[in-house]
């Protein structure tokens, strides 16, 4: 059986995750007008209405005073007590501190972005590349490119899709007085924070 790659690798989603996302996308497209997204995205037991810390891969909480400018890490949200669930692709997000020219040196929430890593084209996992001349999200499968400032696809097949399926779901962040970064409770709808694998409307 094929092994799911590490989220940091930017590799393809496993067959199991792919089938789940296919089913979710079919449901989204069929019932987008009627669905109450908050009832099932994310799983109901995660709908606590409470903020969650941005937990980095080493187990520490992201902090504005230590997280580097123009840097990204793959993080899990919503994080559960089940390590198997935490490996699901739809829980994988790219936490980005923007480059300096896009405001990354600021010591507030505007310096950060957090996008679903599930590409809106065929659900591979994209990643942020900080090198000069790139500084963008790139999907390794079919070349979709994402603007780190907005999450909007600006090249590749995802950029040709109609809204909301050309803008990555995004999470709202806040920074407390001690510099720690927190995720605000999301609104799982295309008009809110978006739907993983489907997208959001850019406001």
Please state, in angstroms and rounded to a whole number, the distance separating the CA atoms of residues 189 and 199: 9
Tokens 């902090």 correspond to: 63
Max Cα–Cα distance, the chain, nearest Å: 47
Task: Decide if 45 is inside a domain.
Answer: yes
Q: For residue 181, what are the β-bridge partners?
A: 175
What's the gap between Cα 89 and its chain centre?
10
Task: Decide if 18 is inside a domain.
Answer: yes
DSSP secondary structure letter of residue 156 = S
The 10s digit of each residue's pLDDT in 177-193 is: 999 999 999 999 999 99
What per-residue confidence (pLDDT) applies to 48? 52
Please state, in angstroms and rounded to a whole number, the distance separating the CA atoms of residues 166 and 97: 22
Domain of residue 166: give its range.
7-183
- Count of domains in the chain? 1
Task: Decide if 160 is inside a domain.
Answer: yes
The DSSP H or E segment spanning 182 is strand 181-183
The 10s digit of each residue's pLDDT in 29-78 is: 444 443 444 433 444 344 557 899 999 999 999 999 999 999 999 999 99
Task: Decide if 1 is inside a domain.
Answer: no
The 10s digit of each residue's pLDDT in 107-135 is: 999 999 999 999 999 999 999 999 999 99
Task: Decide if 2 is inside a domain.
Answer: no
Question: 174 in helix, strand or coil?
Answer: strand
> Higher model confidence: residue 7 or residue 100?
100
Average pLDDT score over the chain: 85
Task: Decide if 66 is inside a domain.
Answer: yes
CATH of the domain at 46: 2.102.10.10
Task: Decide if 189 is inside a domain.
Answer: no
Task: Decide if 199 is inside a domain.
Answer: no
pLDDT at 3 over 80: no
> What is this structure's pTM?
0.79
Total Cβ atoms within 10 A of residue 117: 29
Q: Label the pairing between strands 153-155 and 52-53.
A: unpaired
Which has the closest alpha carbon to 57: 119, 11, 6?
6
């Amino acid at each position: 059986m094929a092994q799911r790659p590490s989220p940091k690798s930017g590799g393809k989603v496993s067959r199991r995750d792919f089938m789940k996302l296919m089913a979710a996308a079919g449901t989204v497209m069929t019932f987008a007008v009627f669905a109450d997204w908050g009832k099932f995205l994310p799983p109901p037991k995660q709908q606590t209405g409470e903020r969650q810390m941005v937990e980095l891969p080493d187990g520490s909480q992201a902090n504005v005073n230590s997280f580097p400018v123009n840097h990204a890490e793959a993080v899990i949200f919503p994080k559960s007590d089940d390590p198997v669930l935490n490996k699901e692709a739809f829980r994988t997000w790219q936490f980005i501190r923007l480059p300096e020219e896009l405001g990354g040196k600021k010591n507030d929430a505007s310096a950060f972005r957090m996008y679903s890593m599930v590409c809106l084209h065929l659900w591979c996992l994209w990643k942020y590349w900080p090198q000069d001349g790139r500084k963008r999200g790139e999907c390794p499968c079919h070349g979709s490119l994402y603007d780190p400032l907005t999450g909007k696809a600006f090249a590749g097949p995802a950029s040709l899709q109609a809204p909301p399926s050309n803008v990555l779901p995004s999470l709202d962040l806040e920074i407390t007085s001690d510099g720690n970064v927190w995720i605000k409770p999301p609104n799982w709808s295309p008009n809110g924070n978006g739907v993983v694998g489907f997208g959001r409307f850019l406001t």
